[in-house]
Amino acid sequence: MFAFMNRARSIFIARLPLLLIVPLLLAIPASVSSAPTEKGDSVLGERIAKGVVLQGRLWLRGTMISRDDPTGGLISLGVADESRQVHFNRGVVDIEKCGNELWVLRSVSVKKRGLVVSVWRKGAFEDVAEFEAPSKDEPIALLNSKGTPIVLSQRTIRIFSNDGASVRLIELKGELRSGVQVSTAIPNGSGSVYVGFNSGEWGGGLQRVDLKTGAVTNVERRDTKQLCEGPLNSDCDPVTGVIPDSRDGDCVLVSVGLVHMFTSEGRILRVCGEDVATISEKSVTGGGDKRKMTEAFYGLVPTKEGGFWAITYRALYRFGADCKIEREYSLPALKSVSGVYLSRDLPGAIIVRTDVNWAVSTSGYTPLVVPSED
């Protein structure tokens, strides 16, 4: 019902005068939102889902639509010399950094539904675990829990030993949602994984999965009975980033962001179990009548100092460990590096362009922030 009403809201918005829509679209930086002047990367296309900097290289993963259409690839670019290397042309579900290693969860057999966890060591990938995923148990994410690889799927959790020789299988008690993008985080002092779903104009929301029992809990906060009231409403709020809270081992920080037609909405939340609190919200104006809106946040990544980066369609913010803004940077112009549009002009962060949000909204090209090794 909510999904239908949400769609109806979008149809209503589409009928509004163009004068109300254009100002907000023009407010999105051309370096991020404009159409590319050349084709995207031959492996990733334009839909880049995740980035990691490791051993002097920028690793980028494309989106895997489904196990039956394993289109996600993995490439790396030299940070210093921009050299390009293709590691997997397709089938990559997720990547995760663990110390000085890179873990990869990838599909190796669609018919047999075979999956492999591989680790980048000494300049090559080494397979450390292999398993089969039944139909309707699609893999969602690869996580690192204190050096232990965990695979979260639609119906199960697989917790591997460090050497991949054994695995503990836990069935989920509850149903996980889905989205064009999924963000996950395991708080340091928690036995749970928080899973954020980004479905654009169709919302997404946040869920928590107990790593011992498999219990799935919806995490919400709706301050009024109005359709899209939040600050965390699964029917209307796409979650674009989830990271551990460095100040509280039981909590996570969550970003919400949506630019759709003439609206912009976003915020950063602290979530501790069932408690949801807004810790940052940036007011913006747009539309012909200069209506008040909030800036859409498109991702969070931790910094070495215990703070975090937060990125929007117009700026990059550096937050301290106290969750207060220390610095705001305007987004730089992006240049094409082997078909990937990116910038290394800002200290401590690499900005990469993606159209992953465009699949479910009118956001255009949006920025992805990747912490550098500087």
- What was the pLDDT predicted at 289? 57
What are the structure tokens assigned to 320, written together? 């301290």
- What was the pLDDT predicted at 344? 95
**Domains of the chain as residue ranges with CATH:** 2-371 (2.130.10.10)
Give CA–CA dist 364/32, Å, rounded. 8
Nearest Cα residue to 72 out of 354, 343, 341, 297: 354
For 61-87, what is each residue's pLDDT tens digit? 998 665 566 568 999 999 999 999 999
Q: State residue 70 phi and psi, 5-degree precision.
A: -80, 75
Give CA–CA dist 248/239, Å, rounded. 20
Q: Answer for the pair 74, 87: CB distance below 8 angstroms, yes or no.
A: yes
Q: Which residues of the chain have pLDDT under 70?
A: 1-40, 64-71, 110-112, 286-290, 374
Q: Answer for the pair 258, 201: CB distance below 8 angstroms, yes or no.
A: yes
- What was the pLDDT predicted at 66? 58
- What was the pLDDT predicted at 205? 96
Give CA–CA dist 258/238, Å, rounded. 7
- What was the pLDDT predicted at 34? 45
- What was the pLDDT predicted at 21? 34
- What was the pLDDT predicted at 165? 78
Give CA–CA dist 196/58, Å, rounded. 24
- What was the pLDDT predicted at 226? 85
Count of other CB atoms within 10 angstroms of residue 347? 10
Q: Answer for the pair 172, 216: CB distance below 8 angstroms, yes or no.
A: yes
- What was the pLDDT predicted at 338? 86
- What was the pLDDT predicted at 158? 95
Give CA–CA dist 13/162, Å, rounded. 51
Give CA–CA dist 31/52, Å, rounded. 22
